[in-house]
Amino acid sequence: MSFMIIKSSWKKFLFCCFSVAVFSPLTSCKKDNPGDVVAINKSDEVPKDIISKLQEAGFDTSEGLRKFQNGYLVEYDILFTAEQINELSANGPLVSIPNGRVEHYRTNKLVVATPRVLQVFMDTGFGSFMQNAFDDALARYNNQNIGLSFQRTTNSANADIRIVSFFENSLTLGVSGGNPSNGNPATTIQLNTFYYNNTTTRPDAATTIAHEIGHAIGFRHTDFMDRRFSCGNEGFDPNEGNGDNGAVHIPGTPTNAVGNSWMLACSNNTNRPFTNQDIIALTTLYPVKVTPVGFQSVYRYYSGSNGDHFYTGNWGELGKGNSTYTLEGIEFYIASTQAYAPAPVYRYRSTTNNYHLYTTNWAELGNGSNGYVSEGILGYAFGNQVPGTVPIYRYRNTKNGDHFYTQVQMNYSDLVSEGIAFYTFGYQY
């Protein structure tokens, strides 16, 4: 999660720490009145094994670490659950930063299956000012025509990202629930109604929401390595995390200090739309993938429970995944009608283990045989290679019988090649 910190002053508010982007809560720098700072009780102490695992993953635990809700705040504004910290530790150190220049950075995990529409829910308890700020934040992203688009939804249960409220008389403005996981964005953003409520009209509202969405889709602070650039010298460690902390430089973004970025750690409580450098970072990280005319994306899913690989061109069938299937991204494109490609790709399901099989050879299974039932047509492809198309290779897993389809030739002992299933336009990774 990510927090934003505010310096409470009659002259200005300081967005101190919309801090680290791996999980990003907005935190506040430091208030002038020490009584405003929430004391950390003995019960709030962080277990030594949690500290050790965070250090192994490259995070700074010297300050800004405390218990928060169902997990731990790291570097002021990153919220991890204990399970996520265990996963970080198991994965080993992340990417290190060789110097302290202000550039745009991303985390190691991103949202996959672009182009993609993300449904975003805003707590209805927020009044009209915050609702308008929410619409403004979504429009900022949508106006860039990147590979992700954002759509308001009133259905909280099915939203990809949920923006909800919490109240805490503390330095925290808001919290973003982490970085992308399993190809999906972090699911929850929290805004502190101590600052964002129905009687306030803070100029930074839309920027705060856009900032936390930035963390949810994989952006880190542009000045995470030296918060003095945007926060000034506030008496805290200016580096959010020394060592291997999952910050990957985005090519094409500046190597010199650039002000007003929406992902700076601190703000002067002004509205900060995307700068030209921000736009470069967005379009580089999530470029528009152009779908060939007449074709649609085929999404690949994997079931960890039975080992099945499942392919569908219908996003509504599984969407971002469910309790059984995990979204693994777009594998290739397939024609929606025979006007664009001649060969039907037939889809079958095994009645014994729910494994799926796809073939252009009707004679292979016909209306269903050998324990398979027909599930219709996936789409249309080519039986022979035509310009611009790639072969889709078919493999069978010798351990469980699962069939795997990919435009990449595989060389694993458990996978036996069954030739080329068909030809179609490949997805450019």
Angle (CA) 378 381 382, round 5°: 155
Q: Are strands 372-381 and 343-350 parallel, antiparallel or unpaired?
A: antiparallel
pTM comes to 0.59
Q: Determine contact, residues 215/179, Cβ cutoff 8 Å.
A: yes
User: Which residue shows structure tokens 């970080």?
Assistant: 88
Bond prior to 115 in cis (omega within 30° of 0): yes
Q: What is the rounded distance in angstroms from the CA atom of residue 223 to the CA atom of residue 230? A: 8
Nearest to 94, CA basis, from 154, 39, 20, 156 = 20
Nearest to 27, CA basis, from 169, 174, 202 = 174
Helix, strand or coil, per DSSP, at residue 128 = helix
Q: Tens digit of pLDDT for each residue in 343-395?
A: 999 999 999 999 999 999 999 999 999 999 999 999 999 999 998 899 999 99
pLDDT at 7 over 70: no
What local confidence, expressed as pLDDT, does residue 124 receive?
Answer: 95
Confidence class for position 223, pLDDT limits 50, 70, 90 = confident
Q: Tens digit of pLDDT for each residue in 290-336?
A: 788 999 999 999 999 999 999 999 999 998 889 899 998 889 999 99
CA–CA distance from 107 to each of 12, 111, 209 (Å)? 31, 11, 19
Q: What is the rounded distance in angstroms from the CA atom of residue 305 to the CA atom of residue 409? A: 25
Which positions ≥6 away from 177 have C-beta within 8 Å? 1, 23, 79, 186, 187, 188, 189, 190, 216
Q: The tokens of 312 are what?
A: 């569908």
Helix, strand or coil, per DSSP, at residue 35 = helix
* pLDDT higher at 429 or 104: 104
What local confidence, expressed as pLDDT, does residue 44 receive?
Answer: 57
Q: What are phi and psi of 173, to 5 degrees?
A: -85, -40
Q: Which run of H or of E encompasses 344?
A: strand 343-350
What local confidence, expressed as pLDDT, does residue 415 receive?
Answer: 94
| Contacts by residues 251-257 (CB-CB < 8 Å, ≥ 24 positions apart) | 251/284, 252/280, 252/281, 252/284, 253/103, 253/104, 253/277, 253/280, 253/281, 253/284, 254/102, 254/103, 255/101, 255/103, 256/101, 256/102, 257/101, 257/102, 257/223, 257/229
Q: What is the rounded distance in angstroms from the CA atom of residue 416 to the CA atom of residue 323? A: 29
